[in-house]
């Protein structure tokens, strides 16, 4: 609140105003004297109940205690931080410590940033907390995000009721109990049943050799996170509602940031992924693993090449006829003819109609390069563009194609498939 200098006094008050003020004071004094000398017992007015106030220092102490509980994998210490009358919160905090144990969470820290407003009548309030964490053995750097902490004024302390929600990033492992599956090359985190975790883990394990057959130098581990729903996926990534309604999985930073140094994980939309047939589910997982292997999440590579290459790797050894794996683009060509240009960035929007047809057309362009110029030429072309070389120059030097030649051959193949 800004402070302003005192306003100048108003001069020229009439004398009757001063006399009136004196009379008012006398009357008030008389009432007070009467109230103190009357025979009735004087009863002081009941004070209004004091509204609980935010206690940042006590909250900081509580968050530090939870940090220690996570570092020491002490579930009992975490339980003790919950409100005394909230056993569900105690169980939830213990589950988060168990998550940290199974995931081998390291570099964990919590820093109180600010409150989201005054506490409710029961003393509860939410606060923004800066969190850092990494999964040791897989993440070489730590993720960092501002998360919501749910705090409660609990007498002479501030209790912790949990994390997540409130429109901020909600990391899967900090949002509730998870199932964890770990191998030397994969780490899978699932907010779901044990059976679901086994299925996702099998997909992740199968994806690694698929990618290494084309990119044999990739050795970094694959981390897959599966929130409970598409809404939980959007919360984990700090995304807008509806951003991932059509997406089965996405490869992006583990903390929802755009910082190039962030750890990179695959996030699955269980609402879409769960509806896929086994072959389709495996193709999606291998596609996303290719993105991890190539560092695609923050690449400036044109999307037709970025996504087409990932599909080329994922579909390379899948025994499916092309009229099935490219059914949507074939149908689109039959309706309106072959596209005149390779798909641009706008064609890959998450809410774009016929998004599947766009992906299939990009895959066919990359498959065409591998078929006519060889797989090493396709890989060399992809890597050159990823390193920043102009697409037309890289295409010509690595494959011998010009962009018009590739486009013409690609259109001819589409027309042939649709005939």
Contact indicator for 186, 224 with CB cutoff of 8 Å: yes
Pair (306, 414) in one structural domain:
yes
Collapsing DSSP to helix, strand or coil, 44 comes out as coil
Segment 239-258, tens digit of pLDDT: 988 889 889 999 999 998 88
Is 399 part of a structural domain of the chain? yes
**CATH code of the domain in which 217 resides:** 3.30.2010
Closest CA to 177 of 188, 156, 160, 193: 193
Check if the beta carbon of residue 189 is closer than 8 Å to that of residue 166.
no
Of the candidates 292, 402, 252, 280, the one whose C-alpha atom is nearest the C-alpha of residue 342 is 402
Greatest mean pLDDT among 54-63, 181-190, 239-248 lies in 181-190
Q: Which CATH number do you get for residue 70?
A: 3.10.450
| DSSP, res 173 | G
For residue 80, pLDDT over 80 is answered with: yes
Residue 350 in this model has a pLDDT that exceeds 50:
yes
305 shares a domain with 264 = no
pLDDT at 197: 98
**Residues 170 and 267 occupy one common structural domain:** no
Where does a domain end: 128, 156, 174?
Answer: 174
pLDDT-derived band of residue 261, with 50, 70 and 90 as boundaries?
A: confident
Q: Does 195 lie in the same domain as 144?
A: no
The pLDDT assigned to 71 comes to 97
Pairing of strands 158-163, 179-182: unpaired
Backbone angles phi, psi at 310, to 5 degrees: -60, -40
- Boundary-marking domain end, from 267, 294, 321: 294
Given a cut of 70, whether residue 364 has pLDDT beyond it is yes
Query: Which residue range is the domain that position 142 belongs to?
Result: 56-174
- How much is the mean pLDDT over the chain? 88
Residues 313 and 416 in one domain: yes
Report, as an integer, the average pLDDT of 271-283: 96
Same domain as 149, residue 86:
yes
Q: Does one domain contain both 276 and 378? A: no
Specify the pLDDT at position 53: 66
| Domain final residue pick, 131, 153, 174 | 174
Identify whether residues 103 and 184 lie together within a single domain.
no
Does any domain span residue 16? no
Examine residue 164 and state whether it is found in any structural domain, yes or no: yes
The pLDDT score that the predictor gives to residue 263 is 95
pLDDT in the model for residue 25: 30
Is residue 353 situated within a structural domain? yes
Ramachandran category for residue 248: left, alpha or beta (phi over 0 → left; psi -120 to 50 → alpha): alpha
- Rg of the chain over Cα atoms, rounded to whole angstroms, equals 31
Of 334, 290, 331, which is closest to residue 311 (Cα–Cα)? Answer: 290
343 has pLDDT over 50: yes
Weakest mean pLDDT among 13-17, 102-106, 272-276, 399-403? 13-17
In a domain, 38, yes or no: no
Residues 356 and 348: their CA atoms lie apart, in Å, by 9
- Residue 3 pLDDT: 33
Q: Are residues 168 and 60 in the same domain?
A: yes
**Cross-strand bridge partners of residue 249:** 268
What does the pLDDT read at residue 259? 85
HSE of 324, CA atoms in CB hemisphere, 13 A? 7
Q: Which string of DSSP letters, residue by residue, matches 329-370?
A: HHHHHHHH---SS---GGGG-TT-TTHHHHHHHHHHHHHHHH
Residues 287, 313: one domain? no
Both 150 and 198 in a single domain? no
| 13 part of a folded domain | no
The answer to whether residues 266 and 254 touch, using CB atoms and an 8 Å cutoff, is no
CA dihedral (228, 233, 238, 242) positive or negative:
negative
- The answer to whether position 25 is within a domain reads no
Asked if the structure places residue 21 within a domain, the reply is: no
Q: What is the mean pLDDT of residues 49-72?
A: 86
Are 158 and 235 in a shared domain? no
Residue 1 reports pLDDT greater than 80: no
- Bridge partners, 143 (sequence order): 133
Number of domains in the chain: 3
């Amino acid at each position: 609140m800004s402070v302003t200098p005192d306003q100048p006094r108003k001069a020229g008050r009439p004398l009757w105003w001063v006399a009136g003020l004196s009379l008012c004071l006398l009357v008030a004094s008389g009432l007070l004297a009467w109230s103190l000398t009357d025979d009735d017992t004087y009863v002081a007015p009941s004070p209004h109940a004091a509204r609980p106030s935010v206690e940042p220092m006590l909250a900081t102490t509580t968050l530090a205690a939870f940090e220690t509980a996570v570092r020491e994998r002490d579930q009992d210490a975490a339980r003790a931080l919950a409100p005394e009358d909230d056993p569900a919160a105690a169980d939830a905090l213990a589950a988060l410590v168990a998550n940290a144990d199974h995931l081998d969470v390291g570099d964990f820290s919590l820093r109180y940033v600010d409150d989201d407003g005054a506490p409710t009548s029961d003393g509860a309030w939410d606060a923004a907390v800066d969190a850092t964490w990494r999964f040791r053995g897989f993440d070489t750097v730590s993720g960092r995000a501002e998360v919501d902490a749910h705090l409660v004024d609990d007498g002479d302390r501030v209790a912790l009721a949990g994390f997540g929600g409130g429109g901020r990033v909600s990391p899967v492992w900090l949002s509730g109990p998870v199932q964890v599956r770990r191998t030397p090359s994969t780490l899978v985190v699932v907010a779901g049943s044990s059976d679901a975790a086994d299925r996702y883990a099998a997909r992740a394990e199968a994806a690694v050799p698929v990618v290494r057959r084309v990119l044999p130098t990739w050795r970094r581990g694959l981390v897959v996170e599966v929130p409970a729903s598409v809404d939980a996926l959007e919360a984990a990534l700090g995304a807008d509602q509806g951003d991932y309604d059509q997406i089965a999985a996405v490869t992006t930073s583990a903390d929802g940031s755009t910082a190039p140094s962030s750890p990179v994980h695959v996030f699955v939309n269980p609402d879409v992924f769960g509806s896929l047939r086994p072959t389709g589910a495996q193709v999606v997982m291998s596609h996303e693993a290719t993105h991890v292997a190539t560092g695609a999440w923050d690449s400036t590579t044109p999307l037709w090449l970025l996504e087409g290459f990932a599909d080329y790797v994922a579909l390379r050894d899948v025994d499916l006829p092309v009229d099935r794996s490219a059914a949507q683009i074939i149908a689109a060509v039959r309706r309106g003819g072959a596209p005149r240009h390779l798909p641009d960035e706008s064609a890959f929007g998450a809410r774009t109609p016929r998004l599947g047809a766009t992906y299939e057309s990009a895959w066919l362009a990359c498959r065409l390069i591998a078929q006519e110029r060889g797989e090493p030429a396709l890989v060399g072309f992809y890597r050159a563009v990823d390193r920043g070389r102009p697409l037309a120059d890289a295409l010509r030097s690595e494959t011998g194609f010009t962009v018009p030649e590739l486009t013409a051959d690609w259109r001819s193949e589409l027309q042939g498939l649709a005939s």
